[in-house]
Amino acid sequence: MMALPMKKSLIASLVLASTSFTLPVFADTQKVADIANRIEGDVIKWRRHFHQNPELSNREFETAKTIAKFLEDLDLEVTTGIAKTGVVGLLDTGKPGPTIALRADIDGLPVTENTGLPFASKAMGELDGNQVGVMHACGHDTHIAMLMGAATILTEMKSELNGKIKFIFQPAEEGAPAGEVGGAEIMVKEGVLKNPDVDVIFGLHISSDKDVGTVHYKEGGIMAAVDPFKIVVNGKQSHGAYPWLSADPIVTSAQIIMGLQTIVSREVELIDSAAVVSVGKITGGNRSNIIPNQVEMIGTIRSLSPDTREHIHEAVHRKVNSIAKSMNATAEVTLPLDYQYPITYNDPALMREMLPVLKTTAGEDNVKLTKAVTGAEDFSFFQEEVPGLYLFVGGKSRDIPASEAPGHHTPEFKIDESGMALGVKLLSNLTIDYMKNH
């Protein structure tokens, strides 16, 4: 009986209390939506240009030129040549406030396009000395276009904003060519997050298997850390007929591989965060009747929380060394082997703070809590330095079942371009909201 009047007065006081705060944010959201709708055709046009002219990692020369020219035309302060082909545009509102970075990756892949689209890529590039087809088969063309859209909106709204915005166009997310370095790690080393110092960074990835209009988030680890490893098992060679004269590195390696599999299944608290230990290659020996003196294997570790990552690294060393010792062999672990990606880690406090922005931008029903992914992203290098959020935005037509959507990195990879508008709005609204509240 008492509930109704109490409810009414509670709602009234909530509305009153929030009026002064909520209304301006809503007005901004509306303005962002209006401009995003107005420029949607341009965003699609930009995307098709990049789609038709993809370039491989660390070879994004023309892509970078086009982006730099675009940012200059917006009157931003433009820096080029960061991590080889990276471009940054700085928008300074002239008013004090935080510095927010928005990031798009810009590289294509060595994939020959087979979509039949009128703007399909016919581009070729050089990979390891061979000519290969090149395609934006991961959707980074949409990332460039969406960030250009956000840059357009935020520049147009400059007089209403405070602080600074860095638009980071990053090369080589898919990995630098053999013998080269590149990507986010190098951008960070070259100081992209300094001068002015970035407070927070936002980035997103289009998904070919998620519905247009939806945004997918997760606090904490959303994509895995990658730690490749090498194990060399040294034994003692003998005739295959007299194994008692050997310290057999092949049998030792078999035990090591099985031992490694018990790390995740028996030591990792899987209800907290998933992990993977995989051996991908093993080599040793040269004929049937010789027990060799050495076996080598390489593999990869994927983890989604810093604690799990540390635990697995310790366990790999412990298992390998104790198993080798029990077999009268020795073993060396090289971990990391050649490169490492950190966890793409969404700062929990920031994620909770920004969740309402996702809801006002996409509509409550279109904001989905997602599962973590055991693939990796070099956006994680930015997040190691400053708090950041990485989100997935839908790029699949709603009338195609997810199971039939062509996967990323395949020749048939396709994006429904109507999904880009949400990405443009999200990048803009996250920036504006953070500025208003910090």
Active site residues: 341, 417
**DSSP β-bridge partners for residue 232:** 296, 332
Q: Which residues contact 303 (CB under 8 A, 6 or more apart)?
A: 221, 224, 225, 227, 273, 275, 276, 309, 312, 343
**DSSP β-bridge partners for residue 247:** 236
Query: Does 138 help bind Zn ion (rule: CB under 5 A)?
Result: yes
Six-digit token pair at 433? 């909201």
Q: In angstroms, what is the minimal distance from the CB of 137 to Zn ion?
A: 7
Cα separation of 143 and 206, whole Å?
Answer: 7
Q: In angstroms, what is the minimal distance from the CB of 373 to Zn ion?
A: 11
Between 35 and 138, whose beta carbon lies closer to Zn ion?
138
Calculate the alpha carbon distances from 345 to 24, 218, 308, 382 in Å: 31, 9, 13, 10
Between 86 and 235, whose beta carbon lies closer to Zn ion?
86
Q: Which residues contact 185 (CB under 8 A, 6 or more apart)?
A: 378, 381
Stretch that binds Zn ion, among 124-132, 137-145, 255-263, 418-426 (CB under 5 A): 137-145
Between 263 and 376, whose beta carbon lies closer to Zn ion?
376
Q: Are 29 and 153 in contact (CB under 8 A)?
A: no
Q: In angstroms, what is the minimal distance from the CB of 304 to Zn ion?
A: 18
Cα separation of 156 and 42, whole Å?
Answer: 15
Q: In angstroms, what is the minimal distance from the CB of 143 to Zn ion?
A: 8
Q: Which residue is nearest to Zn ion (CB)?
A: 138
Q: What is the DSSP string of 19-54?
A: HHHHHHHHHHHHHHHHHHHHHHHHHHHHHHHHHHS-
What is the contact mask toward Zn ion in residues 250 to 289, using x (rule: CB under 5 A)?
----------------------------------------
What is the contact mask toward Zn ion in residues 85 to 124, using x (rule: CB under 5 A)?
----------------------------------------
- # residues near Zn ion by CB under 5 A: 1
Stretch that binds Zn ion, among 133-141, 192-200, 307-315, 415-423 (CB under 5 A): 133-141
Between 138 and 324, whose beta carbon lies closer to Zn ion?
138
**DSSP β-bridge partners for residue 303:** 225, 275
Between 142 and 308, whose beta carbon lies closer to Zn ion?
142
Residues 349-378 that bind Zn ion (CB under 5 A): none
DSSP conformation class of 90: E
Query: Does 176 help bind Zn ion (rule: CB under 5 A)?
Result: no
Q: In angstroms, what is the minimal distance from the CB of 92 to Zn ion?
A: 30
Q: In angstroms, what is the minimal distance from the CB of 174 to Zn ion?
A: 5
Between 138 and 172, whose beta carbon lies closer to Zn ion?
138
The region that residue 401 occupies, defined by phi over 0 for left and psi between -120 and 50 for alpha, beta otherwise, is beta
Six-digit token pair at 366? 């279109």
Q: Which residues bind Zn ion (CB under 5 A)?
A: 138
